[in-house]
A and B are shown apart, each in its own frame.
Chain A
Amino acid sequence: MAIRAEESAWFDIAYLGSGGAFGLLDPACLAIARSDNGQSLEATLKQRGFDPQPIRARRRLLDPSGIRAYLELHIEQGPTLVARGLPAAVVSAYAAASAFAMHAASASMAIRAPSGVPTGATPSRPRSPFFTIWRASGCNKKRPARIWFLTSGSCSPTRHARAEQDRRWTRFVLDLRSLSDTTMEVVAAEHALRRSGISAAYRVRIDLGATSDSPAAVMDSRLRARLMSLLDRPFEMASGAGTTRPCSPRSASRTP
């Protein structure tokens, strides 16, 4: 099964294709605009020749009772497998994800990403106040070690609903991932604290938009054990942004 639209970078909807197949989507999602061209999901579906009606009616297109098992094929971990010379591995869990989409503006300075930093990359030399959020709340090596990752991206000038003549608004996105819901809560709280501190220190106004959240999903331990038993060289790793890496005993022990 080739599932549609599971990357929420375009439509900010978690599991759009599979959720739609099982009739689980909120029909209000049809009004959500694509991030790059602003076209609604409903208009986009129609343009492609598809039908938004099942989503509007929360109608199932796939009956769970007719499915004995589902195996999700993952390619994101491929480079790790290639590096280790492994033909296959088991993905042990999807990390929880929270995306914070903020609009920020300063009357005194332009807010910009460091030059040469591609979307989704981790800046090595933060320069703007907003990368200070990342630096202060995420990557301080002296903090208690927990497995979580914060990716900055999409730091770009934008038109904002509350635009004012003297302020240049910047859309700024942070993507937080962890295998631990507790860690997600702790980091989100610290993020809010740092955000207000930075806002005051740099005299920058930050409007926090709606956050997009999905909880961690850890595979059933019996299924993991069964799949691992089928591998000649058993190996497993988690999935999700920076967590696309092996679950070693050392890293596992660091999970709160």
Chain B
Amino acid sequence: MAGAIQPDLDLAASLFEALSRATRRGRGIVRDSYGDGEQAAHDITRSAADAAGLEVSIDPIGNLSMTLPGRDRSAPRIVMGSHLDSVPQAATSTVRRESSPAYPCCRR
């Protein structure tokens, strides 16, 4: 990407490793909606947000918001997000990069 913002690949790798440990079932990933798999992913994500000092909230149906406050709290927000559940036995591929352990990517 252009500009000064750089991805935290170590954080990404540690998240993928934790997700894999918690939700791999045999050859695939199982993060069932509102089941143990999805909950594990939410717990891992929330822990990372807490460690990063983000404001964390959960709405009544379980959506998890992790907020980096701006200077003007009344201004409209920029939201980035994704779902954390997977199809049953979601396929994975292993990604390797220099000076880092392998971590799996989920693929539909």
Contacts and interface: CB of A to CB of B under 8 A. Distances in A.
B95 A78 contact: yes
B78 A75 contact: no
B76 A66 contact: yes
B61 A4 contact: yes
Nearest to B76: A68
A67 B45 CA distance: 22
A75 B2 CA distance: 20
Contacts of B63: 1-4, 17-18, 20-21, 61-62
A220 interface: no
B82 A74 contact: yes
Interface residues of A, number: 54
Contact of A17 (B62, B77, B80, B106): B62
Contacts of A2: 41-42, 45-46, 63-64, 66, 81-84
Contacts of A50: 34, 60-62
Given A75-B106, A79-B93, A61 B83 contact: no
Contacts of A88: 1
B21 interface: no
A230 B2 contact: yes
B79 A1 contact: yes
Interface in A65-89: 65-76, 78-79, 82, 87-88
Interface of B: 1-3, 7, 32-35, 38-39, 41-42, 45-46, 59-66, 75-89, 91, 93, 95, 105-108
24 contacts: A1-B63, A2-B42, A4-B83, A6-B83, A7-B83, A10-B34, A16-B33, A18-B63, A21-B59, A41-B34, A48-B62, A50-B62, A61-B61, A72-B81, A73-B80, A75-B106, A76-B106, A78-B107, A87-B1, A120-B89, A230-B1, A231-B1, A241-B108, A244-B108
